[in-house]
Amino acid sequence: MGMTEHMAHIGEIDLCYEPFGFPDDPALLLVMGLGTQMLGWPDAFCEQLAGRGFHVIRYDNRDIGRSTHLRQFRPPTLRQLLLRDKSAAHYSLADMADDGVALLDQLGIGQAHVAGASMGGMIAQLIASRHPDRVLSLASIMSNTGHMWKGRPAWRIYPLLARRPVTERDAAIESSVRTMRAIGSPGFPFEEDALRTIATESYERGHDPAGSARQLAAIVTAPDRTAELKQITAPTVVIHGTRDRLVTPSGGRATADAIPGARLVKIEGMGHDLPRGAWDRIVDAIVANARRADASSRHSAAA
């Protein structure tokens, strides 16, 4: 376990988290995507955000990494997933949003900036809509609204999602690198070594395809969030790569259209990953959006 990783005990669930930066700075909660541990927010990326004045907190969602795996529940079958069978899901994205808020509670953090990628963006949206008093600003990255036809995977990506899970170490690591190559950013260098390092560390922290399948059940059975997104009051930035083949850019457009006052930042050549060459733009967008929150709170204080 990393030196700076900690466990938060939330009811039946333990969440593994790791802070970066100074606790006195405004908190920024980072929520990761499907089947991806908190390492999906690379250390250097978290450090870059901390360097811009945030107390950054990344964490493993339930059913991944070192957080609690809900092994008492059978993973969904492929048929259940394709039929969006409600009985296949043992928890919802809203439950995962409550996990994030409970983590803030444990850390004694009243309000935080929240950024989520992919499934993490869906979770972050629900934190912002259901716990508006807790969210200073929202960054929804490579995500969607849950609408049937917006931001859906390109058809040729489906076989990747439906592949039989690999359990043997080297095969699992190669499979992870191969998936990243398929969904990654065509407009940026492919960072094979860095990705292999993260894939290896992830395997060693806890490899569990069944947990990822249970997360996927929460995604596919989630209702369309469009109406709920219209209720979000936090300043919002929506960040999306123009070459995202997993959550197509229409998902980002629909999200920005739904959330009042949201700004859409399109990153040319970015796919469904966080390429190092795009970090400056992503960090700048999160910082600029957080400043909008500071400005609006100053206005309300002055009013």
State how beta strands 13-20 and 6-10 pair. antiparallel
CB 136 within 8 A of CB 232: no
Active site residue 244: yes
- Listed residue (262, 253, 252) closest to 231, CA to CA: 262
CB 65 within 8 A of CB 38: yes
Query: Per the residue annotation, which of 118, 129, 175, 202 is the catalytic one?
Result: 118
193: exposed, middle or buried (Cβ count in 10 Å: 0-12, 13-18, 19+)? exposed
Looking at this protein, which amino acid is placed at residue 259?
A: I
Alpha-carbon distance 5 to 255, whole Å?
Answer: 32
Alpha-carbon distance 281 to 145, whole Å?
Answer: 23
Active site residue 118: yes
Measured at the CA of 222, the angle between CA 216 and CA 227, to 5 degrees, comes to: 145
Looking at this protein, which amino acid is placed at residue 266?
A: K
Query: Per the residue annotation, which of 98, 99, 244, 273 is the catalytic one?
Result: 244
Measured at the CA of 213, the angle between CA 279 and CA 266, to 5 degrees, comes to: 25
Q: Which residue has the tokens 């992919």?
A: 118
121: exposed, middle or buried (Cβ count in 10 Å: 0-12, 13-18, 19+)? buried
Query: Per the residue annotation, which of 60, 207, 272, 273 is the catalytic one?
Result: 272
Residue 270 backbone phi and psi in degrees, to 5 = -85, 140
Active site residue 272: yes
Question: Which residues are designated catalytic?
Answer: 118, 244, 272
